[in-house]
Structure 1
Amino acid sequence: MFSDAEAAALYDVINPWDPARYPEVVFCTELVMAADAVLDLGCGTGSMLHHARDLGHTGRLVGLDPDQGMLDRAERRTGIEWVSGVAADATWDGEFDLATMTSNAFQHLVTDDELRASLTAIRASLRDGGRFVFGTRHPQARAWESWNPSNAFDLEDATGRKLRMWHEVESVVGDVVTFTETTAERDDTVLRVDRASLRFLDVPALAGFLTEAGFTIEDQYGDWHRGPITETSREIITIARRI
């Protein structure tokens, strides 16, 4: 077995919130540090908010996530509000200047109803003119085509335990991809299998949902370096403003 706590610790090993390695960190940090009150939806282990506090953010920081293993790890840092739940459950009313969904967390909003409920709650949580920033994988890049056991990779957790991880697509139905993530020993003895579905929305579809929810798209980029969206972009980075 590979516990939720171990999975959360491994997540931090695989995805360190490191500005030297990931342009997403630089992009998001600039926005977070300029906002007095920030709501991080799908905060995971809280790395982004931890980083903001380390840089001297003195305002209100709130992290929301449904995964208790992740939140347990996030809660090691005090001075930040940690809340269990999903975006659609948010009940804040005009309390934040900025809402974020990093690491493609937006793609976990799979159904139309889930998207609409989440965007409605996110908009309600923002002050007038508040911004919602998030990234998604651009469907034209077909990222899921590389999610297969032949692309398994070896890694070590924080204790030095040697592991292997791979992904395998179960289905592609419309714009929803369902896949498994397997964590194993190096001899391929399976320790844990997690299953998830992600939605790959294109630019017009995103605009439709955001407009319907009461947002206007302020900026949209094809990468975290603020490059334009092109025919080869692998990402869609959106900054939407509450209207």
Structure 2
Amino acid sequence: MFSDADAAALYDLLNPWDPDGRSDERFYFPLVMGAESVLDVGCGTGALLQLARERGHRGRLVGLDPDRAALDRARRRGDVQWVEGTAAEAKSGDDFDLATMTGHAFQNLLTDLDVRASLAAIHGTLRNGGRFAFETRHPQARAWEGWTASNPDDVVEVVDATGRELRYWHDVDAVAGDIVTIRGTVAEPDGRVLRVFGESLRFLDVAKLNGFLVEAGFEIEDQYGDWNREPVTASSREIITIARRG
């Protein structure tokens, strides 16, 4: 009823890459355009690197993601290199100027082992002085409390390429320590469910996150609490980090 290819197409509908209109994408895009070589970890359907190429990036662009259906969609553009794999499988020694991990993809690293292995691999892909830019939701904001069908801001209605009307929303199944388990539901307007996606996300606080970064050999260059580059405070909703390979 709703295939993996449909899911990848829906992702693009829900997350159009728009650095002219969205503050998070406006943050990342100049970093990408200013780097000679870029590794986008968790690239999904590849929208960031595709747009970079369209807007004149002439250097090396590589997207890495474990989702084959998303990569199949990304590979419609052949002037970017697309690699199937997890963050922990990133190839060492590639000497990238910049690695990115957008869309809160960092929160899919659920265990200390996952985080350590992924940061070590990303560190290994960078040249000396290369930077890793990513974000994770600040746990103090408790973003998951708004992920419910009863919150109109969390219910999205779209029309796909075939003209099919779809509704998408989240429900929280469990909160255990710093792990939040959620469901994303795709349905027709009459409520008939087409597909349910399960996902778990980890919410690390600043101290623990920075400890992992330093342990992996990174120096924290900048850290912000919002997309306007304001400092992290007691009311911040994000932890946006630029870390440098030491």
Which TM-score band (shorter chain)?
Answer: over 0.9
In structure 2, the residue corresponding to 1:150 is in which secondary structure?
coil
Whether the 8 Å CA contact 1:165–1:184 is kept in 2: the answer is yes
User: In structure 2, what is the Cα distance between the partners aligned to 1:109 and 1:63?
Assistant: 18
**Aligned twin of 2:199:** 196
User: In structure 2, what is the Cα distance between the partners aligned to 1:45 and 1:153?
Assistant: 19
User: In structure 2, what is the Cα distance between the partners aligned to 1:169 and 1:91?
Assistant: 35
**Aligned twin of 1:149:** 149
Q: Give 1:165 deviation, angstroms.
A: 1.2
| Residues 224-235 of structure 1 aligned to structure 2 (within 5 Å) | 224-235=227-238
1:76 matched to 2:76? The reply is yes
User: In structure 1, what is the Cα distance between the partners aligned to 2:207 and 2:70?
Assistant: 33
**Aligned twin of 2:114:** 114
Letter in 2 for 1:148: T
Among 156, 179, 189, which residue is 1:186 paired with?
A: 189
In structure 2, the residue corresponding to 1:208 is in which secondary structure?
helix
Q: Give 1:230 deviation, angstroms.
A: 1.5
Query: In terms of mean alpha carbon deviation, does 222-231 or 189-198 score higher?
Result: 222-231
Letter in 2 for 1:98: L
User: In structure 1, what is the Cα distance between the partners aligned to 2:94 and 2:63?
Assistant: 16
User: In structure 1, what is the Cα distance between the partners aligned to 2:113 and 2:28?
Assistant: 27
**Aligned twin of 1:217:** 220
Q: Give 1:94 deviation, angstroms.
A: 4.1
In structure 1, the residue corresponding to 2:120 is in which secondary structure?
helix
1:174 matched to 2:180? The reply is no
Question: Aligned residue pairs: how many?
Answer: 243
**Structure 2 residues without counterparts, runs of 5 or longer:** none
Letter in 2 for 1:13: L
In structure 2, the residue corresponding to 1:149 is in which secondary structure?
coil
Give the % identical residues: 63
User: In structure 2, what is the Cα distance between the partners aligned to 1:160 and 1:142?
Assistant: 35
| Residues 30-69 of structure 1 aligned to structure 2 (within 5 Å) | 30-69=30-69
1:17 matched to 2:17? The reply is yes
User: In structure 1, what is the Cα distance between the partners aligned to 2:45 and 2:82?
Assistant: 10
**Aligned twin of 2:245:** 242
User: In structure 1, what is the Cα distance between the partners aligned to 2:243 and 2:63?
Assistant: 19
Q: Give 1:140 deviation, angstroms.
A: 0.8
**Aligned twin of 1:207:** 210
Q: Deviations over 1:58-83 (max 9, x none)?
A: 10000000111110110001111000
In structure 2, the residue corresponding to 1:16 is in which secondary structure?
coil
Q: Deviations over 1:207-238 (max 9, x none)?
A: 00000110010000111111111221111100
Q: Deviations over 1:7-59 (max 9, x none)?
A: 11111111110123211212111111111110000001100001110111110
User: In structure 1, what is the Cα distance between the partners aligned to 2:226 and 2:160?
Assistant: 29
In structure 2, the residue corresponding to 1:231 is in which secondary structure?
coil
**Aligned twin of 2:5:** 5
TM-score (norm 2): 0.96
| Deviating 4+ runs (over 3 angstroms) | none
Whether the 8 Å CA contact 1:94–1:128 is kept in 2: the answer is no
Letter in 1 for 2:204: L
Whether the 8 Å CA contact 1:13–1:158 is kept in 2: the answer is no
**Structure 1 residues without counterparts, runs of 5 or longer:** none
